[in-house]
Amino acid sequence: MAAPSPTTPGGRSTTVRMDTGLRRVIGRRSLLFTGIGSIIGSGWLFGALSAAQIAGPGAIFSWIIGAVMVALIGLTFAELSVMFPVTGGVIRFPQYGFGSFAGFFAGWVMWVACAASAPSEVLAVIQYAKPYLPWLMTSEDGVLVATPSGLLVAIALMAVFSVINVLGVKAFVRFNDLLVWWKLLVIVVVIGTFFALSFNPDNLVAHGGMFPNGGAAVFTALPAGGIVFAYLGFRQGVEFAGESANPQRNVPFAVIGSIVVTGLLYVLLQIAFLTGLPGELLGAGWSEVTFTDVAGPLAGLATLLGATWLAITLYADAIVSPGDTGLIYTAVTTRIAYANAQNGNAPLALTKLNRRGVPWLAAVFTFVFGCVFFLPFPGWQKIIGFITSATVLTFAFGPVVYGALRRTLPDQPRPFRLPGGDTIAYLAFLSANLIVFWTGWQINEKLFLAIALGYIFLIGYRRFARRKLPALDLRAGSWCMLWIAGMAIISYFGEFGADPDALLPGGNGPIGTVSGTVIMAVFSAAIYGYAMITRPSFENTVANIAGDDS
């Protein structure tokens, strides 16, 4: 790795610390396809129905709002990724900008979220296979969960993903490119067929109006309907930047391009689904729309419309789409473990590469812990809320790091530079915080407990690690603790996700959609401002980027 110099002729900037051993073979289209392939996973198969049940026709606006919010976050990561084209950037950037304490926080939560993502896609595969293989899943309290036999199948699929990942990035890219072409073709065919066979625009206003459950439901649907979950894959362009042939050109194209392409497809799909439903299904309201004995709503609607061939295609795609996304997340989680080790926040053994340039011990680690997630989350619906909240929480680091490095490294070369100064960064940070708030206390309580467990791990690791570790820099990372404490309090007293069986029953408080948005806007501005004040010095930032242990 090249050692950064304190300054360059440009002024207050530093040399980028590049990864060695990884192979830079991912081209522009393939990097874009990692994002698109990750986004078009299980979310598109279930999201249209889930969002419609929560928000009715207002779900159309949920998909648009979700795309805008995620795009704001993605823009900040695009600038950071071309400045520092390294593998696992989502968690290495916080370390660069605020030191080891913030880096561990981001790395732990992101790893937990990613480690749960591949299992969620595997669960989607076996849920769609249930009509043909009923022994895979059973219903508990109206929610499909895996049987013991289903769990064995899920573990076998995780093993397949891990083997493909270990074979090398070239094999992964070629396989993924082929699957993404298939996924794009299927979603376009579904949209066109629904519009052609059944177009009932009256559905948008005849059953309670555009917003049958109120405007707040449009925002509730973002996390609860799987909408934000469906968009989370945009970050793959960031995670694979260290293996891209031309990251300065390819990363912004992949990050923004994946959101634009899939956002357009998702909005069209939601409209096609809403207007394609027969009127008799809507007699009891949008919240009661179901498809008897059919695990997949899109295949269920295709069957009702007489398009049996499309239903069969969707059942096949129900294996391909989430399967490909599970493959991508297996690769990404491996690289997150690698990046944590590079940051000094995980054992150095996780950086060991095989002859194909893949961190193979990290891949084994990812497989084992991915399988563990099947125990507390045996069904797709049980896991997506946790993944959404955890992942978005780590996304909030991007805007804050962006603001800090704009100040600390003003002369750093930025081949992709955002306009507007702090405006986009603040809006992106606010967007991430609002999504976590809307997710609700029922899920967030588990997330905050996972964060607490992470810090127990940090204390133990730093006590017994046999390698020299970077200084924590508690002052620079102190905003993280204030931020999480505030988020926990606001979520607890919010009106989202009431859970009387929670360890600390909350989610039924006085903070609603409007008041919560106002409170979160003020809180986000305060935390963002505090982080800018307490950011590390120029010299410490250079040391963070260098991986200096002093």
Tokens at 466, concatenated: 């046999």
Check residue 194 and give its pLDDT.
95
Domain residue ranges of the chain, discontinuous segments joined by +:
28-546
State how far the Cα of 439 lies from the Cα of 431, in Å rounded to an integer. 12
Length of the chain: 550
Higher pLDDT, 432 or 89: 432
* Residue that the structure tokens 């200084």 belong to: 471
Give domain 28-546's CATH superfamily.
Answer: Amino acid/polyamine transporter I (1.20.1740.10)
Question: pTM above the 0.95 mark?
Answer: no
Taking residues 381-400, report their average pLDDT: 79
Check residue 131 and give its pLDDT.
73
Is the pLDDT assigned to residue 8 strictly greater than 50?
no
Question: Which of the four pLDDT bands, split at 50, 70 and 90, describes residue 550?
Answer: very low
List the end-to-end C-alpha distance of the chain, in Å, as a whole number.
Answer: 17
CA 543 to chain centre: 29
* 3-state class (DSSP) for residue 254: helix
Is the pLDDT assigned to residue 321 strictly greater than 70?
yes
State how far the Cα of 194 lies from the Cα of 199, in Å rounded to an integer. 7
Check residue 154 and give its pLDDT.
86
Q: Which of 78-87, 120-129, 352-361 has the highest mean pLDDT?
A: 78-87
Percent share of the chain, pLDDT over 90: 24
Q: CA 496, 501, 502 angle in degrees (round to 5)?
A: 65
Spatial CB neighbours of 548, under 8 Å, sequence gap ≥ 6: 470, 542
Do 363 and 160 touch, CB atoms closer than 8 A?
no
Check residue 1 and give its pLDDT.
37
CA 82 to chain centre: 20
CB count within 10 Å of CB 143 equals: 13
Question: Which of the four pLDDT bands, split at 50, 70 and 90, describes residue 241?
Answer: low
Percent share of the chain, pLDDT over 70: 87
Q: Which of 287-301, 325-339, 383-397, 398-412 has the highest mean pLDDT?
A: 398-412
Taking residues 490-504, report their average pLDDT: 80
Measured over the CA atoms of residue 488, residue 491, residue 492 and residue 497, the dihedral's sign is negative
DSSP state of 199: -
Establish how many alpha carbons lie within 13 A of residue 279's alpha carbon, considering only the half-sphere containing its beta carbon.
7
Do 83 and 413 touch, CB atoms closer than 8 A?
yes
Measured over the CA atoms of residue 278, residue 280, residue 285 and residue 287, the dihedral's sign is negative
Question: Which of the four pLDDT bands, split at 50, 70 and 90, describes residue 428?
Answer: very high
Tokens at 174, concatenated: 């070629």
Is the pLDDT assigned to residue 484 strictly greater than 50?
yes
Q: What is the pLDDT of residues 519-529, one digit of tens each?
A: 999 999 999 99
Number of helices (H) and strands (E) in the chain: give both, helices first: 21, 2
Check residue 402 and give its pLDDT.
94
Taking residues 451-460, report their average pLDDT: 85
CB count within 10 Å of CB 279 equals: 11
Q: CA 406, 468, 546 angle in degrees (round to 5)?
A: 25
CA 107 to chain centre: 14
Question: Which of the four pLDDT bands, split at 50, 70 and 90, describes residue 253?
Answer: confident
